[in-house]
Structure 1
Amino acid sequence: MSTSPSGWEGILDQGEEILWQGQPDDAIIWTDLISPQTFMGLFFCGFSAFWLTGVWAILGSMDQAGALGLMFLLFPIVGVIFFGTGLYMLGGRLFWDVYLRRHTWYTLTTEAAYIATAPLGKRRLKRYAYSEMSQLSLDDGQPGTIWFAEELRSYRSHSKSGRGRTRTARIPIGFRRIGDARAVYRLLRDHRDQSTSASAPTP
């Protein structure tokens, strides 16, 4: 009976061995600012700043007693929520991405690829067997990224008529921004090909 490495007891299959482990680079990706989200963030921040300025001007010139005054006191809260959303879209998402990468760990074994995450103390481990990797690609660079799976995520959107519609987006999954991407890519490709050959039916 083989002994699993410390921390992997009860996770790895019999005979499964670790080939590589690493973490994504945690540098800020400033090029991500070139995105429609950045312009949406500018709009949200500008709109909420205009909103808050107008609300405070109204509150300063009226009697805040009664139900009407209470209603106007709620308006700044809406503005602050919009402003916070704008700040996140404008640049906060870059720092959140850094935080997520700092709490992400990658492992490649003879049987599968593993992605472990622990944002806000919530630990999660996902396994991607070689047999599930129908597409494999390398974004070469230093650091580089290896994509080997996709995840379908559904979300609700609304048309101008107010009707809700469910949309599905394909989210690429892989080892993001690792320093030795080429070497890991070769390891992953070779073991994926071996797994595919072994599972192919014999003519």
Structure 2
Amino acid sequence: MSDPQTNSAEVQASSHPGWQGILDADEQILWQGQPDQRFRVEFESLREVLPGLLFVTFALFWMVQAAQASWFFAMFGLIFVVIGLRQIFQPVLWSAYLRTRSWYTLTDRRAIVATDVPFKGRRLTSYPIDHATLVEYAAGDPPSILFGPDRGKRSERPGFRYISDSDTVMGLIRGIQQRSLPTEGKDEA
């Protein structure tokens, strides 16, 4: 006769293709989703764009001044224009692209963020959830749910970004945290 826990895990994993060997034996998926795919410019990315804007402006100014001597000499400034343009567009475009390649899963024990980026491969990051886990509901359109302490840059905090059913997910997380509270008088035998 087979063990009911193992059998339950096999059913759980088989009902969600790709999760075999990732979930614990009795771990259950409560929610799965993906971030909102809309293009957006975040305030934090603007701070990264400003140096690139200055870089491009200076490079163009240098190219115009150098063109008075020789167009050939002025073309050496193109590399700096390209570097500056990368600094301007990379923070905005990369985060938008990364959202299209990200998937979120909430189980009864942890939050999982999966990404699949060409040339970087698949990555699965797990964040345990218990009564002590710091969780922030970040207002937005749609809102985000962030995990762990605020270290100054919201963009570097792990979490479920721009999810349309954030109220439901936050309720599920609060339920997980409630169930993980230590109870007094528990037998330790």
- Shorter-chain-normalised TM-score: which range? 0.7 to 0.9
| 1:135 maps onto 2:120 in alignment | no
Structure 1 equivalent of residue 82 of structure 2: 84
Q: How does 1:22-171 map to 2 (within 5 A)?
A: 22-32=33-43, 35-60=46-71, 76=76, 79-121=77-119, 122-131=121-130, 134-149=133-148, 171=156
Structure-2 separation of matches of 1:82 and 1:104: 32
1:33/1:127 CA distance change after superposition, 3 Å: closer
Alignment RMSD, CA only?
3.2
Identity of aligned residues (%): 33
The two structures have a TM-score, normalised by structure 2, of: 0.76
| Structure 2 equivalent of residue 155 of structure 1 | none
The alpha-carbon distance between structure 1 residues 133 and 55, as it changes in their structure 2 partners (threshold 3 A), is: farther
Distance 2:56 2:69 in 1: 20
- Structure 1 counterpart of 2:39, one-letter code: I
| 1-structure distance, mates of 2:33, 2:23 | 17
- CA apart distance, 1:47: 0.8
Q: Compute the TM-score of the two structures, normalised by the length of structure 1.
A: 0.72
1:183 equivalent in alignment to 2:168: yes
Runs of 4+ that moved beyond 6 A = none
Q: Secondary structure at the match of 1:187?
A: helix
Kept in 2, the 8 Å contact 1:149–1:172? The answer is yes
Secondary structure of the 2:133 match is coil
Task: Name the one with the larger strand percent.
Answer: 1
Runs of 5+ unmatched residues, structure 1: 62-71, 153-167
Q: Contact between 1:138 and 1:145, CA under 8 Å: does it hold in 2?
A: yes
Alignment partner for residue 16 of structure 1, among 14, 27, 45?
A: 27
| Superposed displacement of residue 196, structure 1 | 3.6
2:171 maps to a residue whose letter is R
Q: Distance in 2 between matches of 1:120 and 1:150?
A: 30
Q: Determine helix, strand or coil for the equivalent of 1:48.
A: helix
Asked if the contact 1:150–1:173 (Cα under 8 Å) also holds between the matched residues in 2, the reply is no
Contact 2:131–2:180 at 8 Å: present in 1 too?
no
Please tell me whether the aligned partners of residues 17 and 109 of structure 1 are also in contact (alpha carbons under 8 angstroms): yes
Give the AA of the match of 1:115. Answer: V
Q: Distance in 1 between matches of 2:142 and 2:42?
A: 14
Asked if 1 retains the 8 angstrom alpha-carbon contact of 2:105 and 2:113, the reply is yes
Q: Using the alignment, how far apart are the partners of 1:102 and 1:137 within structure 2?
A: 23
Aligned residues: 174
Task: Tell me the secondary structure at the aligned position of residue 107 of structure 1.
Answer: strand
Q: Which residue of 2 aligns with 1:67?
A: none
